[in-house]
């Protein structure tokens, strides 16, 4: 029993259709964004939009935790250098959750201008030599520089192998760990950015209250992931007097063209749908000074988008007569550190916040990373007996927002419960959107071992098109039983080794459709080879990861789209067989799709879930959960998680084989 040949047996090129589909949907949203921004003609109109952007952004990340009322900071050591000193610091941003930081303090009593320095994705974080040099350069020019380790970086690694001491969740300077923890945040309806922003605001509290810092002259900067955090603070914290995000700015449509991935904290659910672009993060500062640091050949943030965002930002600042407060520094290099951008950023900070003109320094000395550790062994988890992890924080968030989400709900009326869950699933995954005629094409037929097999494809959606594929297998000797949609992990690609299993299912159900939802089997998207060092299609930063994150930005999910596709497969099977009753058989990821489609379609009588994984609540609250980008979805654990569905389907022929509770 064979699956499809290339390009759906030569009928349709499906290899890039998911990429095309997501791009097409995004194009409509980008057009709406441009239209809305062109209509802004006054400060009042802009400020109303700015407030909406802030509200939508905060809602998308799950809000922000409360900052400590009386923050305390621990100074573990002070190192005197020529012209400045370095303080080694630690503080709790949340109870039992420590942030490690260094503070570079220039000579003199001050008060000095202050800079909050946020690190990008580099494992050593604040201790990285180039980050050290940037902090020293600013300190020698009269700034108090407060540099922090982000979650999963520096002394704050969250996933470390106990035997080797190496990161146990990938590496990439903490980026893999951010995406691992970020997936749990998505399930909870939040974003890892809420914790990173909170840490940065707590650091700002400590910087602002220092006696040697002028609280009216505080800036923030960082590169790459640190630059992204800089833009978030620019949007949300009015204490920032000047911001310089570096190698972190482009324009979303230009970025989408590249095929690049982003990190979990950058994947703001619904950002493209809501029209939240990079310029919205910058213009929130208006009319306070902002400077964009960019690399002309940045592989992550296209330079065309940098210039477009700069012009959009200046257009808003012009409403305040302050277009000159928008700076741009471009270095002829690739994605880089703040220090590598050259003197432009330092000169700009001296101009807008400093006490004197910028003086460049050559041959800046750095120290070994261990000399900057604020904890004895370079690990907050080892230094503090009751130190909590990011997993603990997400678990706390889940319990606070959905205390009963992890258990099967109490049912007063089974009919009401089923109806409520069904409506929630439909709303969550947008399953009642208009469909199109299926127009199935039968493109191959054979009769292996007494069975009839037909290769078929049809369109689930049009404009943009989504082609779905399946192999229809019938046993002419079986006339009873409803037909079944079969959902294997790799779809029809598994047919050669699944021939006996499919024959057995045909003997049980009469007719089965081994089905490929979008992006699966014969409808699988081509591998997107960026970054080139990622080979696993379904791993962190793999192709499925990239497409799933793009869907998140659009306010939707590939998971929900595939549930929709299964509903269309049910519709096709009814038409092909003349049977109203349909069964669903799903394995692993397909088992989830079967559950969600089954609760929506009341005509599905039998649902056979094999190797069904944990609930979304379980994955959000378990430290070592099975990461799978195919299960990327936001805010699913409230009223439509696996336990809710199992209760709602209690009146069906439900067969569930679980891999874990």
CA dihedral sign, ordered 300, 285, 229, 402: negative
Q: Structural domains in the chain?
A: 43-400 (3.40.50.1820), 410-658 (3.40.50.1820)
Per-residue pLDDT at 405: 62
Kindly report, residue by residue over 108-155, the tens digit of the pLDDT. Answer: 988 999 999 999 999 999 999 999 999 999 999 999 999 999 999 999
Per-residue pLDDT at 638: 82
| Neighbour count for residue 599 (Cβ, 10 Å) | 25
Tokens representing residue 78 in the block: 């002070």
Q: What b-and-e string marks burial along 109-143, b requiring 16 or more CB atoms within 10 Å of the CB?
A: ebbbbbbbbbbbbbbbbbbbbbbbbbbbbbbbbbb
Per-residue pLDDT at 408: 56
Q: Which stretch of DSSP H or E encloses residue 612?
A: strand 604-612
pTM of the shown model: 0.95
For 275, left (φ over 0), alpha (ψ -120 to 50), or beta? left
DSSP category for residue 369: G
Per-residue pLDDT at 660: 64
Tokens representing residue 428 in the block: 């969550």
Per-residue pLDDT at 32: 97
Burial class for 290, CB neighbours closer than 10 Å (0-12, 13-18, 19+): buried
pLDDT averaged per 10 residues in sequence order, the chain, 661 residues: 94 94 96 97 97 98 94 94 97 97 95 97 95 98 97 92 74 86 96 98 97 97 97 97 98 94 95 98 98 97 98 98 98 96 96 97 94 95 94 95 66 77 95 93 90 96 95 89 95 96 95 97 93 87 96 97 98 95 97 97 95 95 94 92 93 84 56
C-alpha to C-alpha distance for 560 and 566, rounded to whole angstroms: 10
Per-residue pLDDT at 407: 62
Per-residue pLDDT at 134: 97
Per-residue pLDDT at 510: 94
């Amino acid at each position: 029993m064979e699956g499809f040949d290339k390009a759906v047996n030569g009928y349709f090129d499906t290899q890039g259709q998911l990429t095309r589909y997501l791009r097409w949907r995004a194009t409509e949203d980008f057009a709406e964004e441009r239209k809305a921004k062109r209509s802004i003609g006054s400060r009042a109109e802009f400020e109303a939009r700015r407030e909406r952007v802030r509200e939508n952004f905060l809602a998308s990340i799950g809000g922000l935790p409360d900052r400590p009322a009386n923050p305390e900071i621990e100074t573990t050591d002070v190192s005197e250098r020529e012209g400045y000193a370095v303080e080694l610091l630690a503080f709790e941003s949340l109870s039992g959750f420590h942030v490690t930081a260094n503070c570079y303090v220039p000579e003199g009593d001050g008060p000095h201008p202050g800079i909050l320095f946020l690190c990008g994705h580099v494992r050593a974080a604040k201790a990285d030599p180039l980050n050290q040099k940037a902090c020293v350069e600013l300190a020698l020019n009269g700034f108090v520089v407060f540099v922090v380790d982000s979650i999963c970086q520096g002394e704050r690694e969250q996933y470390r192998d106990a035997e080797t001491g190496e990161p146990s969740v990938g590496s990439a300077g903490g980026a893999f760990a951010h995406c691992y923890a970020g997936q749990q945040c998505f399930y909870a309806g939040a974003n890892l950015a809420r914790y990173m922003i909170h840490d940065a605001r707590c650091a700002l509290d400590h910087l602002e209250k220092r006696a040697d810092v002028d609280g009216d002259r505080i800036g923030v900067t960082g590169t790459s992931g640190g630059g992204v955090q800089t833009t978030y603070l620019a949007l949300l914290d009015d204490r920032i007097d000047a911001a310089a995000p570096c190698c972190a700015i482009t324009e979303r449509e230009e970025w989408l063209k590249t095929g690049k991935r982003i990190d979990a904290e950058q994947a703001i659910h619904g950002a493209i749908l809501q029209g939240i672009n990079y310029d919205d993060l910058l213009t929130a500062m208006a009319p306070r000074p902002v400077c964009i640091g960019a690399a002309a050949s940045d592989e992550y943030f296209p330079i065309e988008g940098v210039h477009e965002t700069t012009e959009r930002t200046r257009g808003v600042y012009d409403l305040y007569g302050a277009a000159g407060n928008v700076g741009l520094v471009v270095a002829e290099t690739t994605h880089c550190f703040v220090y590598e951008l050259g003197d432009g950023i330092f000169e700009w900070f001296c101009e807008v916040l400093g006490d004197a003109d910028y003086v460049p320094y050559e041959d800046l000395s750095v120290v070994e990373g261990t000399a900057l550790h604020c904890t004895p062994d370079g690990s907050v988890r080892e230094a503090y007996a009751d130190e909590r992890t990011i997993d603990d924080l997400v678990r706390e968030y889940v319990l606070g927002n959905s205390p009963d989400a992890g258990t099967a709900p109490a049912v007063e009326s089974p009919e009401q419960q089923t109806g409520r869950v069904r409506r929630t699933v439909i709303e969550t995954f947008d399953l009642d959107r208009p469909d199109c005629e299926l127009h199935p094409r039968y493109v191959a037929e054979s009769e292996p071992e007494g069975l009839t097999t037909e290769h078929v494809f049809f369109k689930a959606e049009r404009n943009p098109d989504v082609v779905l594929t399946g192999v229809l297998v019938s046993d002419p000797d079986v006339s009873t039983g409803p037909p079944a949609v079969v959902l294997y992990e790799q779809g029809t690609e598994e047919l050669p080794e699944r021939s006996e299993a499919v024959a057995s299912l045909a003997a049980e159900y009469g007719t089965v459709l081994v089905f490929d939802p979008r992006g699966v089997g014969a409808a699988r998207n081509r591998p997107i080879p960026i970054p080139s060092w990622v080979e696993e299609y379904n791993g962190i930063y793999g192709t499925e990861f990239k497409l799933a994150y793009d869907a998140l930005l659009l306010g939707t999910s590939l998971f929900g789209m595939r549930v929709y596709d299964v509903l269309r497969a049910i519709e096709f099977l009814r038409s092909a067989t003349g049977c109203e009753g349909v069964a669903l058989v799903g394995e692993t990821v397909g088992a989830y799709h079967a559950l969600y489609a089954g609760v929506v379609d009341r005509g599905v009588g039998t649902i056979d879930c094999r190797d069904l994984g944990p609930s979304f609540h379980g994955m959000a609250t378990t430290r070592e959960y099975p990461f799978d980008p195919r299960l990327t979805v936001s805010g699913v654990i409230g009223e439509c998680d696996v336990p809710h569905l199992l209760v709602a389907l209690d009146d069906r022929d439900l067969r569930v084989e679980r891999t874990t509770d």
